Amino acid sequence: MNKDHKYFFVRLGAVLVLVLCLSIVANILLYPALKLTPWSWGAELVDSKSHQLQNPNGKFNAVVLGSSRVYRQVDPQVVDSVTDGKAETRLFNLGANWLFPPESFYVYDHITKNENGHYDYIIIELAKVSSVDFKNLHTVRTIYWYNLSDLIFAITASWNSNFSIIEKGYNTFVHLIGYTDNIINLGYITEAVRYLNAAHSFDQKVNGNGFQFLSVDQNEADMFEEENTAKRNSRFLRDTSVVTKRSEISRKQFSKYSDNPKLLKSYNIYYSATLKKMITDAQKKGTQLIFLLSPRIDKKQYDELIPLFYSLPEENRIEISDSRSYPELYLAENSFDATHLNQKGSRIYSRILGEKLNDLVILKRRP
């Protein structure tokens, strides 16, 4: 390498280092000081809902958060009616499409940081650590929530999971990209301006308790459903056997672990430890943190989640997923599509959740 070559790399390096340093300074000092965007700005629905949740007039003492399986299936009105006189919940549904860990943990951290953020119960849907589709890289939704601890959690949990080596490598890669995008503020001003222009109409889009069941009729009014739900529904109605297959997967997976309990010991130790720490921290604040195992998960996720679920303390977990125990949640008549329940199904599911919450209260009171 001659002098010219060295000079080129020194200059290129200097530009990159300067850009990186100035970006980090802007990320840590400048943009937070400008207060252009709140913590939830990158996920429209989470933003609207958290705004509503933190409204002191809401007086919610319980929150459930997770993906569309929570957003579309947990009806707080039904849950509250079942827990009336027992668990006494006034539940808010903070579910949103594709809200999986670590993003859901980021949301959890922020709602409990708030001055109105004391809740008796917080229920988080248990899911594998999410990855990011390559085509979705650099979008706000895959950038806004990253911080160093979430990055470390995502990568470490992924490497401790039962994923293949390729998946682990890919997950590490996309999470590093997302984190880098976050610290260099990729497209931040453009997106922040877009957010500021749109934010004023958010409150009109969310029901009082955050719940919105899936329905073909409501599609046009539903601002947050990016996928064409009507198409999904009609595809499902053409062939409802997919839900039977899901039921079979659930039955086989739960049977596998109940027949051979030794298999339950092969859980993701790092992920489990993180959840247990979250439970302990929540307890200190007087909150019972509960992890919810939803129905109709795929085979691979069951293999990750069933052992993880049973590694948690009994009073901090609710399972409404086993098709042997809840066959009604796998019936076509209660389904909207292959993975979601319809309004009727969501009422059944919410009622079960309410009963399970009551059971946990009894369990907790036991000496």
Partner 1 sequence: MLFNSFEFLIFFIVVTVLYFTLPHKYRWALLLAASCIFYMFFVPAYILILFFTITIDYFAGIFIENAKGIRRKRFLWLSLLANISVLAIFKYYNFINENLTNLFGFAGTENPIPYLHIILPIGLSFHTFQAMSYTIEVYRGHQSAERKFGIFALYVMFYPQLVAGPIERPQNLLHQFHEKHSLDFIRIANGLKLMLWGLFKKIVIADRLAPLVDVVYNDPTQYHGWAVILATCFFAFQIYCDFSGYSDIAIGAARVMGFTLMTNFRTPYFAQSVSEFWKRWHISLSTWFKDYLYVPLGGNRVNRSRWFFNLFITFMVSGIWHGADWTFIIWGALHGVYLIVAIISQNTRSVMMKSIGLKEGSHLSNFINTATVFVLVTFAWVFFRANSLNDAVILIQNSMVFSGSGLIEYISANGWQTVVLAFLFVAFLLITEKIMVNQSADEFVNRFSQYTRLAIYVIISLLIINFGVFGGNNFIYFQF
How many Cβ atoms from other residues are within 10 Å of residue 213's Cβ? 21
The identity of residue 204, as a single letter, is: Q
Q: Is residue 14 near partner 1 by the rule CB under 8 A?
A: yes
In the stretch 246-285, what mask flags binding to partner 1 with x, by CB under 8 A? ----------------------------------------
| 102 cis-preceded (ω within 30 degrees of 0) | yes
Mention every residue, 6+ apart, whose C-beta is less than 8 A from residue 74: 64, 91, 93, 95, 211, 346, 349, 350, 353
Q: Nearest distance from residue 134's CB to partner 1, in Å?
A: 8
Listed in sequence order, the residues at least 6 apart from 346 whose beta carbon sits closer than 8 Å to its beta carbon are 72, 73, 74, 75, 78, 213, 214
Q: Which long-range contacts (CB under 8 A, 24 or more apart) does 301-306 make?
A: 301/127, 301/128, 302/249, 302/250, 302/253, 302/254, 303/162, 303/253, 304/128, 304/161, 304/162, 304/163, 304/268, 305/126, 305/127, 305/128, 306/253, 306/254, 306/257, 306/264
Please, which of residues 178-217 interact with partner 1 by CB under 8 A?
Answer: 184-190, 193-194, 196-197
Per CB under 8 A, 34 contacts partner 1: no
Instruction: Quote the least distance from Cβ 258 to partner 1, whole Å.
Output: 45
Q: Is there binding between residue 4 and partner 1 (CB under 8 A)? A: yes
Contacts 24+ apart (CB under 8 A), 324-327: 324/250, 324/251, 324/254, 324/255, 326/295, 326/352, 327/247
| Token code pair at residue 102 | 């670590």
Pattern 81-120, binding to partner 1, x per CB under 8 A? ----------------------------------------
Closest to partner 1 by CB, 115 vs 133, is 133
Q: Give the pairing type, strands 62-65 and 91-93.
A: parallel
Which among 90-98, 159-167, 177-185, 327-335 is the span making contact with partner 1, rule CB under 8 A? 177-185
Q: Does 10 bind partner 1 (CB under 8 A)?
A: no
By CB under 8 A, name the one of 13, 15, 218, 299 that touches partner 1.
15
The residue among 184 and 361 lying less far from partner 1, judged by its C-beta, is 184
Per rule CB under 8 A, count of chain residues that contact partner 1: 28
Cβ of residue 291: shortest distance to partner 1, in angstroms? 34
- 237 part of the interface to partner 1, by CB under 8 A: no
Q: Among residue numbers 295 through 334, which ones bind partner 1 (CB under 8 A)?
A: none
CB of 138 to partner 1, least distance (A): 5
Determine the residue type at 305: L
| Shorter beta-carbon distance to partner 1: residue 76 or 178 | 178
Considering the complex, state which of residue 16 and residue 148 has its C-beta at the smaller distance from partner 1: 16
Q: How many CB atoms lie within 10 A of CB 172?
A: 17
Q: Interface residues with partner 1 (CB under 8 A)?
A: 4-5, 7-8, 11-12, 14-15, 18-19, 22-23, 26, 137-139, 177, 184-190, 193-194, 196-197
